[in-house]
Structure 1
Amino acid sequence: MIALSLIGIGTGNPDHVTRQAVDEINAVDVILIPRKGPEKDGLAHLRREICARVLRGPGPALREFDLPRRDGSGDYRAGVDAWHDAIAEVWAAELAAALPRGGRAGFLVWGDPALYDSSLRIAERLRARMRLEVRVIPGITAIAALTAGHAIPLNTIAAPVTITTGRRLRAAGWPPGSDTLVVMLDGSNAFQHIDSEGISIWWSGYAGMAEELRIAGPLAEVASEIVAARALARARHGWIMDIYLLRRDCD
């Protein structure tokens, strides 16, 4: 039996790692650290840095491995499913090699494992390959870091909030039933493809981290500034994680 802990580590700021997460990191036998290619090596480095900050004594072994890349040439959903299957095969091989007699493994998940992260879906695929027990340690979400950084409430009074992706915003426009949107996983500045009249935006890159960038204002006035800042930050760091809130102006 392998016990796999999916440990939410917040947005990359070691100070956002909860005491529960610290205890879990110290309790496992091995921490799995994925590598996503040289252009995103900073993500693996941050995971190593967090471990160095919170480990008590020698702690668990750190085991790094390369993740397969997603084929983006065909149907999006089919490509994601195939990619998750491939990742599950890599996870299974790494767990078997690291814990041949069973034990406890930890996987440090950006933000929270339940919010726009596929770790739980990949872990579910592993159940068909091995005896696996899954434990989830919640983490501070990018949404919380976004609203805290801008010092704004997530919702207006008694009103709903829609959490969506850049892909869906670009393809389908503003979803009905909500005047507030939180947009995640947007690699193409989807806010440029909606009517900006009466819309305000609060954008954060590297939310919660020392490198955090924040831009806010009427969408029509700051959209080009966000696009330029995002491109510059990605060129400088080799990667970017950003998130933004859109709100219709209400009388």
Structure 2
Amino acid sequence: MVAAVKVRILGVGMGPQHVTPEVAGALRTVDYVLAAEKADDDRLLALRRAIVRAHGGAELVALPDPPRDRSERLSAGGYESAVSDWHDARAAQYAGVLKERGGTAAFLVWGDPSLYDSTIRVVEKVRALLEPHVALDFDVLPGISAPQLLAARHRIVLHEVGKPVHVTTGRRLQEAVAAGMDNIVAMLNPPPERLDFTGLDDWTIWWGANLGAPGERLVTGRLRDVLPAVADARAAADAYDGWVMDVFLIRRDR
């Protein structure tokens, strides 16, 4: 059993072209990279391999991703419980590998680790599982986030002059609207047909999927006019890349 292990949590944006010099340097210091494998043909795992090859060529250790309850009708509490159980299962897997291998390991995080990603939380769970027999230390390096990419692609500022921007998930969009938010970035979105856009027909949307990837798609306009185009573009991005991650800004017209 090893006595200590180091973990580096590295934000990598949406691929090799977004890896900062700081993160590239960090990748060259690690002994191996840990990653979840979600399918036999996991194209996001393949993209992680490309990033690793481009920056030092460390071994990539892929572990089958534990199952998670993704029922559409989960309550807020049920969703949080399902995610917590999933994180626990991931932490147990990672703890086993780190305990056996030791050394310095890395996790590659899409976008930035600080925004709608739970790698930091999972590593904290890993540390708790390893203590007191194995000391785990970790650091975090930032990456280019999805909202940053969205704003750049649409050539916009995410907020109006002196105004706030509210960041939430697609499933909580109507909660934000009910709370009086009228300039909202939504991430972790289901397909458009499962989003509740009730009462938002006259709002403007700036939407993007797979930003920075070959299948990148962008749509903007008044919501009532472009919602069908959003659905079509999301399907096209998924078909092209084999995966889809989308983000949007929605704003009430003044």
TM-score above 0.5: yes
Verify the 8 A CA contact 1:199 1:246 in the aligned structure 2: yes
In the TM superposition, what is the alpha-carbon distance from 1:191 to its structure 2 partner?
Answer: 4.9
Secondary structure of 1:174's match? helix
Q: What do the CA deviations read for 1:93-145 (whole angstroms, capped 9, x no partner)?
A: 12223x2xx32111111111110001011111112122211110100000101
How many Å apart are 1:24 and its aligned residue? Answer: 0.5
1:182–1:245: 8 Å Cα contact kept in structure 2? Answer: yes
Aligned to 1:64: 62
In 2, the alpha carbon distance for the partners of 1:110 and 1:233 equals 17
Could you say which residue in structure 2 is the equivalent of 1:140? 144
Distance 2:219 2:200 in 1: 16
Task: Give the CA deviation at 1:27.
Answer: 0.4
Structure 1, unaligned runs of 5 or more = none
Instruction: Name the SS of the counterpart of 1:62 in structure 2.
Output: strand
C-alpha separation between the residues in 1 aligned to 2:33 and 2:124? 19
**Is the contact made by 1:166 and 1:183 (CA closer than 8 Å) also made in structure 2?**
yes
Alpha-carbon deviations, 1:68-115, whole Å to 9, x = none? Answer: 121235621111111111010011112223x2xx32111111111110
Which residue in the other structure is 1:91 paired with?
Answer: 94
* Residue 109 of structure 1 pairs with residue 122 of structure 2: no
1:208 is aligned to 2:212:
yes
Distance 1:183 1:81 in 2: 21
Shift of 1:237: 3.4
Find the counterpart in structure 2 of residue 38 from structure 1: 40
Aligned to 1:17: 19
CA distance in 2, matches of 1:188, 1:214: 15
C-alpha distance in structure 2 between counterparts of 1:239 and 1:195, whole Å: 30
Q: How far did residue 173 of structure 1 move?
A: 5.6
* Offset of residue 194 of structure 1: 2.5
Aligned partners of 2:178, 2:137: CA distance in 1, in Å? 37
Q: Which residue of 1 aligns with 2:185?
A: 182
Residue 218 (structure 1) aligned with residue 218 (structure 2): no
- Match of 1:234? 238
User: Per-residue displacement from partner, 1:179-212 (whole Å, max 9, x unpaired)?
Assistant: 2100000113255532124300011010122321
C-alpha distance in structure 1 between counterparts of 2:198 and 2:99, whole Å: 48
Instruction: Check the 8 A contact 1:146/1:208 in 2, yes or no.
Output: no
In the superposition, relative to structure 1, how do residues 15 and 175 fare at CA in structure 2: closer, same or farther (>3 Å)? farther
1:8 to 11, 14, 25: 11
Instruction: Give me the whole-angstrom Cα distance separating, in 1, the residues matched to 2:127 and 2:178.
Output: 35
Q: Is the 8 A contact 1:112 1:139 kept in 2?
A: yes
Give 3-state SS (helix, strand or coil) of 1:125's partner: helix
Out of 158-167 and 59-68, give the one that drifted further.
59-68
Q: 2:37·2:64 contact (CA, 8 Å) conserved in 1?
A: yes
3-state SS in 2 of match to 1:128: helix
Change (3 A) 1:83 1:191: closer
